[in-house]
Amino acid sequence: MIKLFHLFKSEIIRLIKYKIFFFGLLVSIIWAVIIALADVQSVVGLVPYLVLMDTGMMSIILLAASFYYEKQEGTMQSMLVTPVRLSTILLIKVAAMVFMGIVSFVVVVGTALVFHDFDIRILPFLGACMLAVLAHTAIGYVLTLHSKDFLSLLVKYMGVALLFFAPTLLVALGVFSGDWELLGLLSPTYAAQKLFAMALGEIDQATLWISVTYLALIPALLYPLVILKRYEIVAMEG
Amino acid sequence: MGKVFEVRDLRFRYPKGAKDVINGISFAVEEGTVFGLLGPSGAGKSTTQRILTKILSNYQGEIKYWGKDLSAFSKAFYEDVGVGFEMPVHFNKLSAQENLDYFASLYKRNIDYRELLTRFGLFEARKQMVGEFSKGMKVRLNFIRALLNDPQVLFLDEPTAGLDPKNAKIIKEAILEYKRAGKTIFITTHLMGDVEQLCDTVVFMNNGVITETSTVRDLKLKYGKKELNIEYHEAGKLTARSFPLGGIGKNREFLDLIATKELETIHSGETTLEDIFIKVTGESEHD
Ligand SMILES: Nc1ncnc2c1ncn2[C@@H]1O[C@H](COP(=O)(O)OP(=O)(O)O)[C@@H](O)[C@H]1O
Ligand SMILES: [Mg+2]
């Protein structure tokens, strides 16, 4: 446990030194400013989107940046010749991403609560946040590990971002409605968005459980079955 | 003394490679010695090191580590092994000290690296970002990192490549000192000087095969011509001659010469390892 904590601390220090933490925080602070200036009505609508930007799409970018720094510096291969298992290293990296998600949650939601007066289910919201990070970083890892450089990752990322935000757009434009909306949950981003919205408003049991299960299944399957193997190969190639 | 590694008929092909890059090599690494894998660039030296350090696993043939199958060892293998990569590998935006702390935290056993920092002239720069280090400083830090867990077996891939003579000397002295402490060191190199000054055993490798296994002394005996080179004055001109060293005391011509001529220099000559390298691998070391 002590070792795990030490590794986690080192990873956070690394993210700070490489300005990745700062970059993530900066984006959250921008959202916080927007929230502070908005009126309470718009805030209730805005908060789920803004938290979604941070814990969903932002966390993929931050993870990729962190990954390519390491790849460029060749430190991944040097981790292979230490007694620490690769699964532990990966676990620590994911934990660090979840931690950054929590920080951004505190900044964004905290600001909303300080400046405005409205009801919110804090703990379920936080839980949904962590789920969103876990699911999106899993997808982020799959994309990153299958791209040869940051640029080719960005191209894939744009495609995926478009796909994942499609349900949000289609619903907003009124194209998706009624039962069709459930189909939108196929996008983990949309599923997370629904969960966040429920933390601030009404709960729909079916949507809740489908989203939670789906978001939990993505990392539960991708990490052990796809990412770990691929991570080892990429690390080996140095 | 035990055998740290026993390698028999090792073959390896990279997953995406078209052909084997290691073509059936066999050798043994004795405890407490410096073992040198020598060969031109592309020979397969780094690949061999990557296999012995368990980075690459899908090899054919047999590798025994302390008499046991290498693949049977878990991650605990690395508690006793130190690895220096060909390229210095560091977190460039962390300081030297932060880098060492990070890697030290991954092992059960740690040395006090401050003494090494001092010795390698890095103590003053320990709080500086490694990205700002010179090549020599990075290589020295890389070396310290390989020693963090006080390994029994130390792997160094081209430890002196690209270093100025001063830095190279620091590293070489440290390697010899580590050997004197009873540790085993495996180095790969394409530099003759390294082998001559460091290695007890040397294996020549080219195109994935071993062309010669020997000790530095035996190599010289086998390939080296021993001769006596004399320079002397004759008719106002400096003249040079060579005689075979064997039976020199009964060599009339030689004895006459030293009795009658005014000598300038006498040297015994040996074929250098560099000449032997070219002979054995069929290539120059700077290819
Ligand atoms: N990751 C890799 N994938 C495919 N081939 C490789 C890889 N790394 C090295 N090789 C090839 O294997 C051969 C041996 O390389 P290497 O072990 O690095 O040689 P050396 O260290 O002696 O210079 C070379 O032909 C090289 O091109
Ligand atoms: Mg090499």
Q: From the CA of B40, give the closest atom in ligand 1.
A: 22
Q: Determine, for residues A81 and B78 on separate chains, whether the beta-carbon distance falls below 8 Å.
A: yes
pLDDT at B16: 85
Which atom of ligand 1 has the smallest separation from the CA of B50? 17
B50 token code pair: 């990557």
How far apart, in Å, are the Cα atoms of B207 and each of A221, B20, B39, B45, B281? 43, 9, 9, 10, 9
CA atoms within 13 A on the CB side of A222: 20
Report whether pLDDT(B180) > 60. Answer: yes
Q: Which helix (H) or strand (E) holds B243?
A: strand B237-244
Longest pairwise C-alpha distance within chain A = 55
pLDDT at position A189 over 90: yes
pLDDT of residue B286: 47
List the structure tokens of A90.
Answer: 């990966």
Nearest CA in chain A to B14: A237
Residue B158 three-state SS: coil
Hey, where are the domains in chain B?
Answer: 3-220, 225-269
Least confident residue range of A172-176, B21-25, B236-240:
A172-176
The Å distance, Cα B285 to ligand 2 centre, comes to: 13
Q: How many CA atoms lie within 13 A of B17 on its CB side?
A: 12
End-to-end C-alpha distance for chain A, whole angstroms: 28
Q: Which of the residue ranges B114-123, B189-198, B212-221 would you say has the lowest mean pLDDT?
A: B212-221
Q: Which of A32-46, A128-142, B202-216 has the highest mean pLDDT?
A: A128-142
User: With contacts defined as CB-CB under 8 Å, which chain A residues touch B89?
Assistant: 73-75, 77-78
| pLDDT for the residue numbered A153 | 93
Ligand 1 cavity residues, CB under 6 Å: A 237; B 14, 16-17, 21, 39, 41-47
Residue B154 has pLDDT above 90, yes or no: yes
CA distance B141 to B122: 8
- Which residues, including other chains, have CB under 8 Å from residue B187's CB and lie 6 or more apart? B34, B35, B36, B37, B155, B156, B157, B159, B175, B194, B198, B199
Backbone angles phi and psi of B56, in degrees to 5: -100, 135
Q: How many Cβ atoms from other residues are within 10 Å of residue A163's Cβ?
A: 12
pLDDT at residue B246, rounded to an integer: 84
Contacts of B81 in chain A (CB under 8 A): 81
β-pair type (B34-38, B184-189): parallel
Q: Could you tell me which residues come within 8 angstroms of residue A13 by beta carbon, excluding any fewer than 6 positions away? A: B94, B98
Per-residue pLDDT tens digits for B245-277 = 888 889 999 999 889 989 999 888 766 666 777
The rounded distance, in Å, linking the Cα atoms of B268 and B248 is 11
Whether the Cβ atoms of residue B2 and residue B28 lie closer than 8 Å to each other: no
What does the pLDDT read at residue A183?
A: 83
- Higher-confidence position of B35 and A54: B35
Is pLDDT at A13 greater than 80 in this prediction?
Answer: yes
Residues of A in contact with B83 (CB under 8 A): 78, 81
Give the whole-number percent of chain A exceeding pLDDT 90. Answer: 68
* ipTM over cut 0.95: no
Closest C-alpha among A152, A132, A138, A2 to residue A63: A138
Per-residue pLDDT, B281: 67
Mean pLDDT of all residues belonging to chain B? 90
Model pLDDT for residues A68-114, shown as the tens digit of each residue? 999 888 888 899 999 999 999 999 999 999 999 999 999 999 999 99
Our count of domains for chain A comes to 1
Q: Give one DSSP letter per residue of A69-133, joined into a string.
A: HHHHHTHHHHHHTSSS-HHHHHHHHHHHHHHHHHHHHHHHHHHHHHH------HHHHHHHHHHHH
Mean residue pLDDT across chain A: 91
β-bridge mates for residue B157, sequence order:
B188
Contact A66, A199 (CB under 8 A): no
| Best mutation target, B51, B59, B89, B95, to test chain A (most A CBs within 10 A) | B89
Least confident range of A117-131, B45-59, B220-234: B220-234
Q: State pLDDT tens for residues B218-230.
A: 777 777 677 888 9
For residue B283, the model assigns a pLDDT of 58
CA distance B107 to B129: 23
Query: Do B91 and A17 make contact, defined as CB atoms within 8 angstroms?
Result: yes
CA-CA distance, B249 to B284, in Å (whole number)?
36
Tell me which amino acid residue A206 is. A
Q: Which fold has domain B3-220?
A: Rossmann fold (3.40.50)
Distance CA B246, CA A20 (A): 71
Q: Is the dihedral of CA B198, B101, A8, B150 positive or negative?
A: positive
Q: How far is B193 from chain A (nearest CA, A)?
A: 27
Domain that holds residue A197: 2-237
- Could you tell me the pTM of the whole model? 0.85
